[in-house]
């Protein structure tokens, strides 16, 4: 099915006809490389045929390019669910998620019509501390604890730690909703919903392929992400295929932000709004020059800009991780003068939050200029079990290495 | 750019290459015709190039094929806004919506990057009774009043009538959110948000082109819609290009519904779940045979099935209208045992709700078998002004014929 653009143009009309699908198709289940992509190439595979592999050494939904729709569910275990119960839940969830992601109908599902076009549906499960307390206290990773309190935190219990997190993403909101209903119903004997965080990013094909999506501040968000396999191996994947998931719910005070002019917005971030290039010049992926000064000898990039504070410490190159943020934009609370209840569901994957994530958060908490317009209102941390296989190579179900 | 499939296959490789875009493209801003569409044709125009015309004899967002994302906003006028103020609001909203829908940057907007790819963005404005009370009491349509109370209604004030409704739809959730922020901010001196109803349907390209989308009961929803221009002329568009908008918020009790087997679900609806065909046979668009009986002499289609009750009365063929429903699937209320707070934002367009809409609603209220699993919790009615033009042909801004 793979056909190079050159081969396509040189080929016969019949071959060209047969490869319309190929011409419309692109890479899948792989992070897009950095660069400035073309804006008119029809380089997306038709959405009806877009399927992300469920099984593999790692869970999907981590390296997978951000889909349009997110249903992120925090579950707490029901009373009396022990290690054996946890294993049963994970076994049935794995089997059902595998079917749904492939566009097949899970055992016992009465809605085959709703499951037909998965639209890049992915599931990613994470275990909170309590799963280890119940099932394998001795195996709990040292970093699996609350993110330390930050001075500016205004955390709300309603968005706090849960026993399990299940990230469901798809490029079709109907599929995403349907998959959530199926999984919550299927797991209903074992786990109940504590919270649901619903978010969105750009629709499949809505922005040029490979372009970094923007948050509701208008900023490109995710520039410094890993892109290549060796970067993922360094930053994200443990040897057994596991990783960690940190979820921060960050309210964004858009009404105030939108009163700023563009220059003030760019100063707060340290990047241009137009293309995300550092204010010291170049393009989105150019290294910033923090030594650059303007005509008055003042630094071009504010040392407390979001970009400057969020970069790895010069002596700590390990402070990198995969950002996979989603926007939320809910109706304003009744009686509120705000135009919307908006913000970011900041989702981060890394080997060790204590080493890679929290130091960055502390630097931001201390002096990020963006702090004036954001408030962290939720926080939770999970261990993300290795990927699965249907043929007995490795874990057959989520968390088998801990629960099996 | 238009190229027939036959011409495409017969053409030269170079021509074929040039028309990849055409081959990927399809019709736009036009309801798909009934029929069983092919499932593998890449017949969608690339989403990045998908723009729905803003100006025209009618507002967009009525005939427009349902987009993925809905932000439907109910506004109430601020104190002291008179006819002149209403005209100023509509003039500025029309100008801004026209720019946003075209992928241009409205005057005073500081976010050109967020407005670049409209993704079939449409805006549809409606006036509640109070706009006429303020601006033109003598011109208020006779039907512009609350939908009469139904015996089963459990209407909540929070989803009730407002002065203005603004329906924003797009195939990119970021664009849809952004357009809502722009419009609510732009209108902030004149109108404040009373409610926001957020909904979703299938993503652009996620299901076969022209296929009727499904609601969260798994039913195809919208089969009996108008498709052709003469049907729209008969059912929807008044001679001046105006129409009416009825919004019913309908909670769907999915947890109970999902306990039914497929046969029970199909009996309640009167159609098969597989393809929406009447239980008396044929395909989705086959006329149902209410006289058909089974081996025991019992009717194949229950007389109180949703399909039977919702069809036009045999003596009243005028009981037809355009349905443009959106699903909602919100997190369960805190403490609720339900899996989600789900339902339908039922949006209907017709010349005269008293004649076309309410009689159908009354028949459903009386005996629809679906009533066991649904509750109407919101209701409002609006006059939808004619379309606009940028070149002085007809209304230059929304509602000019009433406010000008």
Under 8 Å between Cβ of B125 and B190: no
- The DSSP secondary-structure symbol of A150 reads P
Provide, as residue numbers in chain A, all residues whose Cβ is less than 8 Å from the Cβ of B74. Answer: none
The shortest C-alpha distance from A404 to chain B (Å) reads: 28
Domain that holds residue B131: 51-204+217-403
- Among B13, B113, B203, select the one facing A16 at the smallest CB separation: B13
Residue B247: pLDDT band with limits 50, 70, 90: very high
User: C-alpha distances in angstroms, A128 versus A144, A383, A399, B62?
Assistant: 7, 6, 12, 47
Chain B residue with Cα closest to A118: B206
Which of B48, B262, B340 is nearest residue A205 as measured by Cβ atoms?
B48
Q: B158 with B169: CB under 8 angstroms?
A: no
DSSP string covering A77-112, please?
A: EPTT--HHHHHHHHHHHHHHHHHHHHTPPPTT-S-G
Q: Residue A374: inside a domain, yes or no?
A: yes
Helix (H, G, I), strand (E, B) or coil at A352: coil
Put simply, the answer to whether B23 touches A20 (Cβ < 8 Å) is yes
A137 and A3 in a common domain:
no
As for how many domains chain B has, the answer is: 1
Whether A23 and A156 map to the same domain: the answer is no
Q: What is the pLDDT of residues B202-231, one digit of tens each?
A: 999 999 988 899 999 999 988 889 999 999
Supply the DSSP string of B83-108, one letter for each residue.
Answer: HHHHHHHHHHHHHHHHHHHHTPPPTT
| C-alpha R_g of chain B | 22
User: Which residues in chain B have their CB less than 8 angstroms from residue A273's CB?
Assistant: 111, 113
pLDDT of residue A43: 65
Q: Please list every residue in chain B whose beta carbon sits closer than 8 Å to the beta carbon of residue A331.
A: 193, 195-196, 198
Say yes or no for a CB contact (<8 Å) between A174 and B119. no
Q: For residue A383, is it within any domain?
A: yes
Same domain, A315 and A207: yes
Same domain assignment for residues A95 and A122: yes
**If you count residue pairs, one on A and one on B, with CB atoms under 8 Å apart, how many are there?**
218
| Cβ pair B243, B58 in contact under 8 A | yes
Provide mean pLDDT across the span B325-340.
Answer: 93
- Do residue A24 and residue A54 come from a single domain? no
Q: Could you report the predicted ipTM of this complex, rounded to two decimals?
A: 0.89
Query: What's the pLDDT at A108?
Result: 85
Mutate which: A111, A119, A170, A205, vs B, most B CBs within 10 A? A205
**What value does the mean pLDDT take over residues A104-117?**
92
**Are A218 and B172 an interchain contact pair (Cβ–Cβ within 8 Å)?**
no
State whether A181 and B273 contact (CB < 8 Å): no
List of chain B residues whose C-beta atoms are within 8 Å of the C-beta of residue A10: 13
Give the range among A272-281, B360-369, B394-403 with minimum mean pLDDT: B394-403
Residues A2, A52 within the same domain: no
Q: Which pLDDT value is given to residue A334?
A: 85
Is there a domain that residue B11 lies in? no
Asked if residue A195 is part of any domain, the answer here is yes
Question: Is residue A22 located within the same domain as residue A73?
Answer: no
Mean per-residue pLDDT of chain B: 89
Q: Which of A39, A110, A172 has the CB atom closest to B48's CB atom?
A: A39
Residue A41: pLDDT over 90: no
Q: Is residue B13 part of a domain?
A: no
* Phi, psi (degrees; rounded to nearest 5) at B279: -65, -15
Asked if residue A203 and residue A88 are part of one domain, the reply reads: yes
A394 band by pLDDT with thresholds 50, 70 and 90: low
pLDDT at B394: 67
**What is the distance in angstroms between the Cα of A240 and the nearest Cα belonging to chain B?**
34
Q: How many residues does chain A have?
A: 404
Give B-chain residues touching A48 at CB under 8 angstroms: 39-40, 205-208
Query: Are residues A23 and A133 part of one domain?
Result: no
H-assigned helices in A284-345: 306-310
Of B14, B208, B331, the CB nearest to A196: B331
How is chain A split among helix, strand and coil, in percent rounded to 5?
30, 20, 50
**Do A196 and A314 belong together in one domain?**
yes
The set of residues, in sequence order, having a beta carbon less than 8 Å from that of B5 and lying 6+ positions away, is B23
Question: pLDDT (tens digit, 9 = 90+) per residue, A138-165?
Answer: 999 999 999 999 999 999 999 999 999 9
Residue A110 belongs to some domain of the structure: yes
The tokens for B74 are: 């109910």
Predicted local distance difference test score (pLDDT) of residue A312:
83
Residue B154 buriedness (CB in 10 A; 0-12 / 13-18 / 19+): exposed
Q: Would residue B137 count as lying in a domain?
A: yes
Confirm whether B29 is domain-assigned: no
Whether residues B203 and A119 touch (CB distance < 8 A) is answered with yes
Considering the domain architecture, whether residues A136 and A3 belong to the same structural domain is answered as no
Domain match, A19 and A140 both? no
* Cα of A111 to nearest chain B Cα, Å: 7
Alpha carbon of B230: minimum distance to chain A alpha carbons (Å): 31
Task: Take residue A186 and report the two structure tokens written for it.
Answer: 């299927």
Q: How confident is the model at residue B335 (pLDDT cuts 50, 70, 90)?
A: confident
A352: closest CA among A327, A328, A400, A316?
A: A316
A339: which chain B residues are within 8 Å (Cβ-Cβ)? 181, 184-185, 188, 193
């Amino acid at each position: 099915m793979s056909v190079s653009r050159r081969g396509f143009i040189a080929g016969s009309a019949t071959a060209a006809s047969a490869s319309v699908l190929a011409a419309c198709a692109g890479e899948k289940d792989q992070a897009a490389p950095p660069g400035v992509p073309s804006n008119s190439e029809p380089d997306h595979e038709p959405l009806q045929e877009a399927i992300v592999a469920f099984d593999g050494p790692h869970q999907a939904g981590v390296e997978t390019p951000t889909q349009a729709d997110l249903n992120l569910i925090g579950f707490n275990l029901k009373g009396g669910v022990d290690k054996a119960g946890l294993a049963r839940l994970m076994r049935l969830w794995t089997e059902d998620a595998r079917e749904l992601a492939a566009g097949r109908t899970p055992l016992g599902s009465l809605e085959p019509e709703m499951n037909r076009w998965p639209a890049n549906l992915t599931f990613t499960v994470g275990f909170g501390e309590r799963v280890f307390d119940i099932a394998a206290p001795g195996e709990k990773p040292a970093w699996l604890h609350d993110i330390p309190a930050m001075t500016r935190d205004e955390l709300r219990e309603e968005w706090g730690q849960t026993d399990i997190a299940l990230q469901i993403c798809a490029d079709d909101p109907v599929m995403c909703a349907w998959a959530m209903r199926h999984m919550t119903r299927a797991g209903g004997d074992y786990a109940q919903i504590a919270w649901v965080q619903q978010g969105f990013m750009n629709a499949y094909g809505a922005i040029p392929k490979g372009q970094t999506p923007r948050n509701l501040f208008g900023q490109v968000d995710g520039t410094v992400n890993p892109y290549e396999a060796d970067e993922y191996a360094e930053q994200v994947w443990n040897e057994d295929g596991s990783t960690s998931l940190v979820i921060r719910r960050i309210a964004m005070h858009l009404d105030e932000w939108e009163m700023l002019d563009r220059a003030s917005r760019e100063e707060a971030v340290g990047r241009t709004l137009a293309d995300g290039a550092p204010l010291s010049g170049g393009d989105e992926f150019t290294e910033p020059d923090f030594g650059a000064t303007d005509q008055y000898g003042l630094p071009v990039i504010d040392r407390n800009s979001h970009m400057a504070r969020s970069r790895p410490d010069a002596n700590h190159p390990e402070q990198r991780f995969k950002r996979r943020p989603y926007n939320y934009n809910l109706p304003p609370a009744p009686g509120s003068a705000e135009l919307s209840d908006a913000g970011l569901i900041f989702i981060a994957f890394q080997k060790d939050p204590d080493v890679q994530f929290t130091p960055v958060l502390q630097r931001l908490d201390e002096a990020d200029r963006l702090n004036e317009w954001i408030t962290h209102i939720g926080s939770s941390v999970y261990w993300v079990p290795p990927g699965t296989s249907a043929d007995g190579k490795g874990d057959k179900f989520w968390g088998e290495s801990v629960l099996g």
